């Protein structure tokens, strides 16, 4: 059996950031230059974001705190806690988010029990603690204490793909393996007031959220009280590449007052120039794919920002419907670093309906991160029971359109 994502489930903190309110707060901070104020207005208004979620409850305007640490709602001043204080909040708030997303993913597979989970892979780049979220998932969900645990840290927005690739390898090596992949990020811990364009862009884009996937080659059990087969994503191929330029354009560093993002304004141009070359190694793995990118039905693009999505859509000549999942996630949740592309893939999974091709529809997915690194994945969206062969083989003639 091919390796598949059985489900993707998500969890977000309850505190909502409204983009227009956040813009006004950041624009009113003392010490801003006129250029800084203009950059804030432009960055927030052009981000194509309506709402984001944050684990920092103080960031809401709805209530005040007697001893504010991150934000004083009375004076509307953004404060400057140390990296240690920010990481301590990560240690308190990240675990429950990881656990909730993982719990929902396991509950979405009623034929699986906690005892079936063989591996846990967790991902985050916004904080550190140990025992970490991998440990908490095992303990909180009552998994076998011998569950093998792996944590991918500080890789950035593309890290969901190495995690899924590792899960696929585990399942290919052990056909009965069931892997929980959980990405969780609290990016909002690191916002601050600044005149620096990169810092302003991060404040306009980044948010908090977690997403969990169940990856296995085991088909859903039939019979009993289980619901009909839900859609699945077959994990066909993965590739990674570094663009020839861009090392200085995207980075993630640790400072005295939180983690510091570098997201240069030239990043969309780099992606525009090199996206075709980055996709080539992936798409060449399956000669049955059509020549035109637009003929691949689904595109799961990490919405690093509106400009990135615009460049990808234009360069690959995709239509609005193919970018709709990424733009919806950006609008409703912002950029949650490694978790974000999982939200996009969940949107694609849930959007498959009775008109979907029963033999499967291809999904091309990608994310970008420090380096500049481009991670890509080719998947197949199957609306019902999983076929017994991978796409591109003679056993799946409906997918052999010729390339």
| Contact (CB, 8 A) for 341 and 347 | no
Comparing CA positions, the residue from 23, 21, 383 lying closest to residue 231 is 383
- The two most distant CA atoms of the chain are separated, in Å, by 67
* CA geometry: angle 347, 134, 151, nearest 5 deg: 85
Which residues partner with 209 through β-bridges?
185
The number of angstroms, rounded, from the C-alpha of 191 to the middle of its chain's C-alpha atoms is 19
DSSP string covering 135-155: HHHHHHTT--TT-EEEEEES-
CA distance 117 to 110: 13
Which residues partner with 228 through β-bridges?
none
CA distance 40 to 26: 7
| Contact (CB, 8 A) for 212 and 182 | yes
Taking phi first (over 0 means left), then psi (-120 to 50 degrees means alpha), and beta for anything else, what does residue 205 get? alpha
Task: Map tokens 């091709």 to a residue.
Answer: 357
Q: Within 10 A of 66 (CB to CB), how many other CB atoms are there? A: 4
Dihedral over Cα of 311, 314, 319, 322: its sign: negative
Q: Which of 109, 157, 171, 187 is catalytic?
A: 157
- Annotation says 183 is catalytic: no
Q: Which residues are catalytic?
A: 157
């Amino acid at each position: 059996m091919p390796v598949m994502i059985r489900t993707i489930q998500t969890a977000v903190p309850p505190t909502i950031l409204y983009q227009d309110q956040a813009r006004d707060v950041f624009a009113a901070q003392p010490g801003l230059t006129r250029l800084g104020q203009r950059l804030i207005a432009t960055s927030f208004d052009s981000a194509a974001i309506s709402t984001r979620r944050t684990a920092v409850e103080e960031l809401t305007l709805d209530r005040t705190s007697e001893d504010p640490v991150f934000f004083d709602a009375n004076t509307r001043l953004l404060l400057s806690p140390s990296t240690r204080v920010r990481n301590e909040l990560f240690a308190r708030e990240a675990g429950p988010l990881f656990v909730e997303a993982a719990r929902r993913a396991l509950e979405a597979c009623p034929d699986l029990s906690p005892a079936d989970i063989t591996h846990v892979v967790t991902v985050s780049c916004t904080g550190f603690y140990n025992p970490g979220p991998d440990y908490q998932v095992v303990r909180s969900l009552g998994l076998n204490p011998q569950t093998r645990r792996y944590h991918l840290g500080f890789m950035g927005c593309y890290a969901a793909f190495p995690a899924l690739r590792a899960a696929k390898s585990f399942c290919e090596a052990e056909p009965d393996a069931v892997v929980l992949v959980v990405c969780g990020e609290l990016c909002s811990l690191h916002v601050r007031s600044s005149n620096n364009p990169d810092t302003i862009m991060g404040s306009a884009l980044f948010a908090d959220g977690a997403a969990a996937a169940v990856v296995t080659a085991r088909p859903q059990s039939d019979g009993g009280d289980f619901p009909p087969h839900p859609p699945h994503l077959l994990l066909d191929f993965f590739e990674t590449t570094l663009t020839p330029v861009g090392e200085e354009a995207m980075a993630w560093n640790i400072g005295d007052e939180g983690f510091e993002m570098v997201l240069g304004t030239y990043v969309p141009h780099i992606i525009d120039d090199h996206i075709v070359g980055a996709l080539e190694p992936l798409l060449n793995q399956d000669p049955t794919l059509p020549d035109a990118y637009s003929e691949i039905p689904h595109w799961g693009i990490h919405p690093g920002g509106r400009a990135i999505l615009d460049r990808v859509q234009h360069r690959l000549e995709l239509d609005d419907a193919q970018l709709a999942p990424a733009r919806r996630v950006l609008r409703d949740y912002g950029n949650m670093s490694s978790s974000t592309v999982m939200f996009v893939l969940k949107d694609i999974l849930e959007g498959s309906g009775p008109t979907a091709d029963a033999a499967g529809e291809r999904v091309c997915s990608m994310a970008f991160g420090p380096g500049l690194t481009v991670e890509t994945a080719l998947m197949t969206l199957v609306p019902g029971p999983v076929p017994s062969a991978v796409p591109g083989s003679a056993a799946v003639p409906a997918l052999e359109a010729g390339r």
